[in-house]
Each structure stands twice: as structure tokens, then as C-alpha cells.
Amino acid sequence: TQLLEQSPQFLSIQEGENLTVYCNSSSVFSSLQWYRQEPGEGPVLLVTVVTGGEVKKLKRLTFQFGDARKDSSLHITAAQPGDTGLYLCAGEDTGNQFYFGTGTSLTVIP
């Protein structure tokens, strides 16, 4: 069962543009993480959010956990080619089960 749906699935933008990636579920999650995966490598943890409404910033990346803890978003400001990669959300539900989303493949064109 796929609990975490990410959108868009693919995104290609020009350098300097802003973008938002979404991670949605009908289930409540006790916490949610975002990972970035570059070609030929494993995912690398970017951030963990645990409180409904929580916002965290990592340089040009802003992560938000929905008030109801069912969804999350990742906003990138002034995207750079180095941001290219597969972005994965992952959540732990209230039954302590852990799931990954299907991913958003981002390409930033110089």
C-alpha cells in the first residue's frame, strides 16, 4: 500500500526559478523526513519535521509539515543545477511503520 504520494513526479526548470514539491497522504504521520538522492548514490537525509505546522529551512530549501500531519512540502528558492536529483519524502505513521514516497525527479537546467 502506497501511503505517500509525491507530486509532481518529474520537474524540469531553469536555473534561478523557484519550485515546490508536495508529499500527500490520507494518513497521519508522527514525523516526516525528506531525502535527496543523486544518480548512482543512496538517498541522503535533508531534514526531519515532527510538529504539525512546523517549518524548517536549510539554506534555499524550506520544508513544511502540514497542520494535520498528513502532508508536507519542500520549496526551493532560486534553484541551482546542484539541486538536481530525486527528492523523497518518508514518514513514520502512528503504528510505527515507515514508508517512502514515490519521489520527485528534479532537473535544473543551467
Site membership for other proteins, residue 45 (CB under 8 A)? yes
Q: Of 59, 93, 101, whose CA–CA distance to 77 is shortest?
A: 59
Say if CB 64 and CB 55 are below 8 A apart.
Answer: yes
Q: Is 26 in the site for other proteins (CB under 8 A)?
A: no
The only residue of 13, 24, 27, 50 in contact with other proteins, by rule CB under 8 A: 50
Is residue 31 helix, strand or coil? strand
Out of 18, 30, 77, 107, the residue judged to bind other proteins by CB under 8 A: 30
Considering only the stretches 17-25, 40-48, 56-64, 71-79, report the one whose residues sit in contact with other proteins under the rule CB under 8 A: 40-48
Which residues in the 87-106 window bind other proteins by CB under 8 A? 88, 90, 92, 96, 98, 100-103
User: Using CA atoms, how far apart are residues 19 and 95, in angstroms rounded to an integer?
Assistant: 32
- State the Cα–Cα distance between residues 74 and 39, nearest whole angstrom: 20
Give CA separation, 35 vs 44, 89, 110, in Å: 5, 6, 23
Which chain residues interact with other proteins by CB under 8 A? Answer: 2, 30-31, 33, 35, 40-45, 48, 50, 88, 90, 92, 96, 98, 100-103
